[in-house]
Structures are given as structure tokens and as C-alpha cells.
Amino acid sequence: MFDKILIANRGEIALRVIRACREMGIQSVAVHSTADADAMHVRMADEAICIGPPSSTESYLNVASIIAACEVTGAQAIHPGYGFLSENANFVQIVEDHDLTFIGPTAEHIRVMGDKITAKDTMKALGVPCVPGSAGGVPDLESALKIGEEFGYPVIIKATAGGGGKGMKVATSAEDMKSAFQTARAEGKSNFGNDEVYIEKYLTTPRHIEIQVFGDGKGNAVHLGERDCSLQRRHQKVFEEAPGPSITPEERANIGKICADAVANINYIGAGTIEFLYENGEFYFIEMNTRLQVEHPVTEAIFGVDLVREQIRVAAGLPMSFTQDDLQINGHAIEVRINAERLPNFSPCPGRISQYHAPGGLGVRMDSALYDGYSIPPFYDSLIGKLIVQGRDRPEALARLNRALGELIVDGVDTTIPLFHDLLAEEAIHTGDYNIHWLEKWLDARFGSI
């Protein structure tokens, strides 16, 4: 087992990893920019080292500084959290070249799954159901129009290297195709340095279902059920739950086994999430995230496992501490993402926290790096906390979420807390009758086009 782990991240996810290390008796090293000198993860770690100025490119994305921090502190492994360098195959290779351990999948697996076309081809070969679409990259508009005619409109054009909703455009007709195709390519080029795109059939009323998988890198893998992440704004998740309210036990067992078998066949190591669109009882693969997800706590809640602890164990060469038969669902869990954003435009709202009070009580978990007097810097993502609740069933979890939101106090900046109060007043939230387009339509109806 490792003696010391460096966490190449910040905020609540850095705290999450520090807590796992502490429970395992492992020393933790926090890295930080000058803007994060007073951050909670810096205070909580056993050691902290500054790696650069506020800009993430000069600090949290500065590979040389992170490797140097390992050498200075004697850290033997790096946990990347999510975001930043967590899915950067070149970084993983550099870590390994310096005789350090990357707590996550191999560079090759990250590289394969980071390219949407290669990932789709790989999954299709492993028996994972995929959305009908182009066989590979689409080189020009003429080819795009032929694909639109073949599969029928609407279709969605996606940047091969895309993510976070960038480089994705829907064409509802041949007339739409020209601008959608050009825009998707341009966004892919500007955001990811790659203008290659592919095309898929656009499903009109799907849910977003993702399967949590975990492998030991030696041909053994399990699935930990699904999460429903259908409540999204501009392809960004805001409300996640497990198990999915629309998924039957038979569907869960079937798609779960398919996913677990797929990652076992490629000797995948660590946590991963295979994401699907789900419509009319069918699953369609869209991408695989080769890292810990923001919403991993809802899975932890219903299965009673520590996914970060498990990541560390298998990275150290130990076997998984559970088998598929050990994994039994207990109740229902929901997570809402609390962002420092001003409604209704969801514009970032950095500033000083004048008062912070986390909710508590049975079945309530608050993952946050906030404290009274903390100043949220303007340089990073606006996520400032995740409120996770668990109940014996979905109605109890929703009631507990409502109660916990009423206890949560974040003063000094605008947040998305009011959004969740309003959503919990909607019948569709309680019945679970929504899809990936529901939230944006609700926001348009409530606030107009924003």
C-alpha cells in the first residue's frame, strides 16, 4: 500500500480523496494555486505545496509542477479526482515514466475512450449497444447529408474529441445540416484542437442512464447499478439519482453484466462510467468516462462502498474488496449540484461566503469545501457543493432532500439552491416522468430563452 498520495485537484473532490486517505492511514499531499492558498483541501491535507498562479493552465494543469511536487514530498501515487488532468493520457504516461502510480485507468484506456469514434467502435465490438450512426468520422458536408438521409432526421453532429456539451449540434432537416455540421466542426477545433465529427441518430425523448463499473486491471470487473442523470441543462447534469426510476431489475442486471463484461475483457482498472441514452426500453452507448464521476456518492450511498478507497486499493495491486454478489441495492439516493451561479442565466457568482451551514441528520451527506469567510475564486468551475440524501425509497429520499435543502445556508453569493426548491414543487420530479430535454423546456417556460 502507498505511504503518501498527492491529490492533483482542488475543492470538494480533493477533500473527498483526503478523507479516504486518512481512513486508510495514508498521508495526503494537497497541491494548490496561489488563489487557493486558504482553501479547505489545503488546510485538511497532511502536506500542501503551491504549484503556480491562479490560472489552471499554470497550476492544476501544470504537469511539470505536479510531478515536481511528488518528488519534493515523496508522494508515490497521484489521485487526479475529476476534471483537470483526470482523463489526460499523456499525463498518465508521464506519471508512469517517473515511476509514480496513477490512481485510475491506463493511458491506453483513457486514449481509446477519449476519442468518441474509437470508443464507440470498441464498445460495439465488446457487445455494448450503440446509437445508430456513421461508421466513423464524417469528412465533409456531402457525406453528412447522405448519412442524414440514410438514418432520417433529426440527427446529432458530435465532435470526436468533444465533451461537456461542446461540439454538439442537432440537425432537424437537410437544410439545417450545413450550419450544424460547420458549427460542430468549428467548436471541436476551438475547444479540443480537433475538428473531426461523427453523426448519430438523435433520440427525441431519451433518459440519460449511466452504469458504474469497476475493474481490477486483471480481468475482473463488477457493475454497481445505474444512475439516472436526465435532469440536465446544456448537457450539464444538475440532479442525479440511483437507482434510476425507469429501470427494471431485469434491465439493470442485463445492461450491468454487458458493461462489466466489456471492461473485464479489456482489463480495465479502477472506476469508470459507461453512459447511455435510454428510450423505449433500449440502451444506446454514448461515451465512457474513465474517471470518478461527480455523482459517485449516490452509488456509494445505495451500495455502502467507498469508491475512492477502492480506487486506491486496486492501484496498489490489491484485489477488489467486493464481488458482484456482494453488491445489493439499499434504498434510493439523490444528489443535487450546488453551484455559485446567478439565476436564471446560471452566470458564475464568485465571492466571499458570509455564512455557511451544512444540513445534517439521518441519510444526509454534504460534500463541500466551503467555510465561513471563504472567498470563492473566479478562476475555476462554479461547483461549490454536492448535497446527497438517501432514503428507504424514492419518495423518502425526495422528502429528505426537501428537508435538507431547507437547512442548507450559503450566504454571500448567489447559488442554485432556489432552483431545487422550485423543482421539488413539480409533479414530474415526484413521478420521475421526465427526459433529458425536460429541464431546459421547464427553464424556458419559467424564465424565457436564456
Q: Which of 185, 207, 291, 365 is catalytic?
A: 291
* Residue 359: cis peptide before it, omega within 30 degrees of 0: no
- 13 Cβ contact partners less than 8 Å away, ≥ 6 residues apart: 81, 82, 83, 292, 294
Proportion of the chain in helix, strand, coil states, percent, rounded to 5: 35, 30, 35
Three cell numbers written together for 57? 493552465
Angle at 266 between CA 263 and CA 268, to 5 degrees: 60
Q: What DSSP state is assigned to residue 37?
A: T
CA dihedral 318→320→321→324, nearest 10 degrees, is -160
Look up residue 371 and give its amino acid.
Y
Question: What is the chain's Cα-based Rg?
Answer: 21
Separation between Cα atoms, residue 108 and residue 125, nearest integer Å: 17
**Does the active-site annotation cover 16?**
no
- 348 Cβ contact partners less than 8 Å away, ≥ 6 residues apart: 340, 341, 342, 378, 382
Surface-to-core class of residue 145, CB atoms within 10 Å of its CB (0-12 exposed, 13-18 middle, 19+ buried)? middle
Look at the chain and count its residues: 450
Could you tell me which of 334, 314, 213, 333 has the C-alpha nearest to residue 273? 213
Q: Parallel, antiparallel, or unpaired: how do β-strands 77-79 and 101-102 relate?
A: parallel
Look up residue 4 and give its amino acid.
K
Separation between Cα atoms, residue 112 and residue 62, nearest integer Å: 23
Could you tell me which of 211, 215, 251, 239 has the C-alpha nearest to residue 227? 211
Chain centroid offset of residue 283 CA: 19
Q: Alpha carbon of 45 to those of 14, 40, 72, 366: distances in Å?
A: 9, 9, 16, 19
Separation between Cα atoms, residue 230 and residue 278, nearest integer Å: 10
Helices 116-125 and 107-114, packing angle to 10 deg: 100
Active site residues: 291
